[in-house]
Amino acid sequence: MLNLGKLHFGGDYNPEQWPREVWKQDIELMQRAGVNLVSLGIFSWAKIERKDGEYHFDWLDEAIELLHQGGIAIDMATATASPPAWLTKAHPDVLPINFDGVRLSHGGRQQYSPASKVYQQKAAALVEQIAKRYGNNPAIEMWHVNNEYGCHSPYCYSEQSRQAFIEWLQKKYASIEELNAAWGTDFWSQRYYDWDELVVPKRTPDGTHPNPGQQMDFKRYSSDAHLELFKMERDIIRKYDQKRPITTNFMSMKFTYAMDYFKWAKEMDFVSTDHYLAQHDPLNHIDLAQQADLTRGFADGKQWLLMEHSTSAVNWQPRNYAKTPGQEFRNSASFVARGSQGSMYFQWRQSQAGSERFHSALVPHAGSDTRVFREVSELGAWLKSNPDVANYPTDQANVAIVYDYEQFWALMQANLPTQDINYAETVAKWYRAMWENGTRVDFVPADASLETLSKYELVLMPLVHMLSEQEERVFHDYVAQGGNLVVSYFTNTADRTLRVKLGGYGGKLVKELAGVYVEEFYPLREGQGALSNGYKIELWSELTRNLSADVIAKFVESDVDGSPALTVKSHGSSKVWYQGTELKLGSQRKFFKSITKELGIESEGGESTEVVRRGPYKFEIDHEKNKVKLRNN
Ligand code: GAL
């Protein structure tokens, strides 16, 4: 994974929306603001290829030249994110089909099925043209493939998708028998005798849902299908440019789940991501920190790049609150502290037309004599004056949270013990408890190697519902080698096919490592919610037997009063804590505080201040006082 060398500042640049006079002004303003990189051409397909095979690069050549003359580097896009109208008119099967069997229309963006052969061919032809033309162009610093894969139409249920899904399944399972076993198809007469009987998991009769294993595999297939598109474009670019790094912008956001970014990151030269705040939430800086830390996890601890965020309001929330003075500086500082090689935005100049005309930009409708432009220029100058920061990755934390998109997918399914399980919220709450305690955490995937886990004193496992035997073994080895774990309820309940592990929920991880035998789940009823030590709980209780753990607290306001709720078991110098419930935030903070204290894990900052280091650089960001300090120790 590359570290990109310098701190970047700029954003998506869409000159095709403006007349030539504005372009010149853009370059001057970019220079004034300190912009050193723009992402060019992301949505330019229709402007480049005006008819099938008829390419117009004159305008793009001119824009590239202007930027280059102005000393502004280019993150060159492949323009494949929004197929033109002539294409979908001539080949309607480029358009995706949704869960209800409805073909989605042209007119928005990302209106393509990843399984569409025509889309694949036309996108490949376009990338070939762009890469051939600009592969040696000195103005280009990096490549930006497509845009936010899976953002608007991650799943397509067309016949072409069914065929592609079957091919994917044939690679995964040696025989139809193996697939039947994995999906448990003797349930409800779902057995398949021939590959061609298989379907994509579309809507089924009311009150029923497609087979759980089938749903999981379809989500895996869909993430892989988009990843194949990325790889196709990447490989075409590589033919013409062997030097410059290639990325695509992820969406590390709380409720974004469709693409398995840990898997994707392995295919990229460096990780980049987009992040937008829930601006109504006064604590959104904690979500920002979480998503930045998660992105660093995808990047395996290395530097990454924040490719998009907003200078002020977005246009797609119910109420689009503007950022408060100083907020954007603080936000960017936090991203940089957590490993971003700069601060990039959507977009350079606020659109005059189109559905994003009320989305903020570096240059607002009101022009450059504005709060937003002044503040971003201040940030540009700050980044420029601290170039050495780029040379250091964010310091590794002592605590890691296990994060896994497949858990997200599994826990979104219906027919669980309670519909209130919410993977994203639980992970966010655990993160927030640590953040407010001033304890930094990293994120690791559920299939992390022993070597990765061993870097951490403490590993947290919130709702790691599925684990393969091999993955389970790694956690055992981690504890055997001196690691400490916190395991939540509903963890390791199933294997990766969603088949339940029998004989006490949680398999060996809970029975042997945590020393607890879980018999039955009892979602909490209204009004229930306390433990014997005074901790407040929500959502979940369970009937457990203590096999060999020390009981920290029992359920007292539940259907299972007296049952162990919080336990700890020692294995030599290692400890495994088990939470058979969902602690409320304040209680989770206390619980984590007691653990980190016991393990001697240091904390710094907390409450409303974050303290993060990149080598000799110490970032101190006070979100209440709206202050950013950067020191070089
Ligand atoms: C992103 C997208 C941008 C822009 C932005 C608005 O998801 O990549 O093109 O639409 O959202 O917030």
Question: Residue 280 phi/psi, 5° resolution?
Answer: -75, -15
DSSP states of 123-136: HHHHHHHHHHHHTT
What's the pLDDT score for residue 633? 83
Q: Do 524 and 559 sit in the same domain of this protein?
A: yes
Q: Do 78 and 127 sit in the same domain of this protein?
A: yes
Q: Do 591 and 458 sit in the same domain of this protein?
A: yes
What's the pLDDT score for residue 20? 97
**pLDDT tens-place string over residues 239-267:** 999 999 999 999 999 999 999 999 999 99
Q: Which residues line ligand 1 (CB under 6 A)?
A: 147-148, 151, 274, 276, 308, 314, 346, 356, 359
Tell me, in angstroms, the distance from the centre of ligand 1 to residue 346's CA. 6
Last residue of a domain, one of 371, 391, 411: 391
Q: Do 522 and 409 sit in the same domain of this protein?
A: yes
Q: Where are the alpha helices (DSSP H) in 438-563?
A: 450-453, 469-480, 507-508
- Is residue 311 in a domain? yes
Q: Do 383 and 296 sit in the same domain of this protein?
A: yes
pLDDT bracket for residue 133 (50, 70, 90): very high
Residue 200 pLDDT exceeds 90: yes
Residue 346 pLDDT exceeds 90: yes
Q: Do 426 and 293 sit in the same domain of this protein?
A: no
Tell me, in angstroms, the distance from the centre of ligand 1 to residue 179's CA. 38
The chain-wide mean pLDDT, for the chain, equals 97
As a whole number of angstroms, the distance between CA 159 and CA 200 comes to: 9
Q: Do 413 and 383 sit in the same domain of this protein?
A: no
pLDDT bracket for residue 423 (50, 70, 90): very high
User: Any idea which residues carry the catalytic annotation?
Assistant: 148, 308
Q: Do 335 and 431 sit in the same domain of this protein?
A: no
- Is residue 214 in a domain? no
Q: Which long-range contacts (CB under 8 A, 24 or more apart) does 23-27 make?
A: 23/62, 23/63, 23/66, 24/66, 26/348, 26/349, 26/363, 27/66, 27/67, 27/69, 27/70, 27/72
What's the pLDDT score for residue 3? 75
pLDDT bracket for residue 285 (50, 70, 90): very high
Q: Which atom of ligand 1 is nearest to the CA of 316?
A: 12
- Is residue 205 in a domain? no
CATH of the domain at 478: 3.40.50.880
User: What whole-number percentage of the chain has pLDDT above 90?
Assistant: 99
| Of 498, 500, 495, 441, residue with least CA distance to 473 | 495
Task: Give the count of domains, the chain.
Answer: 2
Full domain range(s) for residue 507: 399-601
Q: Round the CA-based radius of gyration of the chain to a whole number and report it.
A: 25
CATH of the domain at 289: 3.20.20.80
Helix (H, G, I), strand (E, B) or coil at 298: helix
Q: Which atom of ligand 1 is nearest to the CA of 147?
A: 8
- Is residue 292 in a domain? yes
As a whole number of angstroms, the distance between CA 384 and CA 408 comes to: 39
Amino acid code (one letter) for 580: G
Q: Do 580 and 514 sit in the same domain of this protein?
A: yes
What's the pLDDT score for residue 552? 98
Residue 4 pLDDT exceeds 90: no
Residue 2 pLDDT exceeds 80: no
Last residue of a domain, one of 370, 391, 412: 391
Token digits of residue 67: 């930027």
**pLDDT tens-place string over residues 307-331:** 999 999 999 999 999 999 999 999 9
Q: Do 338 and 487 sit in the same domain of this protein?
A: no
What's the pLDDT score for residue 54? 98
Last residue of a domain, one of 391, 425, 451: 391
What's the pLDDT score for residue 12? 98
Q: Do 459 and 339 sit in the same domain of this protein?
A: no
Q: Is 54 exposed, middle or buried (0-12, 13-18, 19+ CB in 10 A)?
A: exposed
What's the pLDDT score for residue 114? 98
Q: Which atom of ligand 1 is nearest to the CA of 148?
A: 8
C-alpha dihedral sign at 622, 623, 627, 632: positive
- Is residue 169 in a domain? no
Amino acid code (one letter) for 411: L
Q: Do 308 and 277 sit in the same domain of this protein?
A: yes
Q: Whose CA is closest to atom 7 on ligand 1? A: 148
- Is residue 293 in a domain? yes
Tell me, in angstroms, the distance from the centre of ligand 1 to residue 232's CA. 23
Tell me, in angstroms, the distance from the centre of ligand 1 to residue 326's CA. 22
Q: Whose CA is closest to atom 4 on ligand 1? A: 346
- Is residue 166 in a domain? no
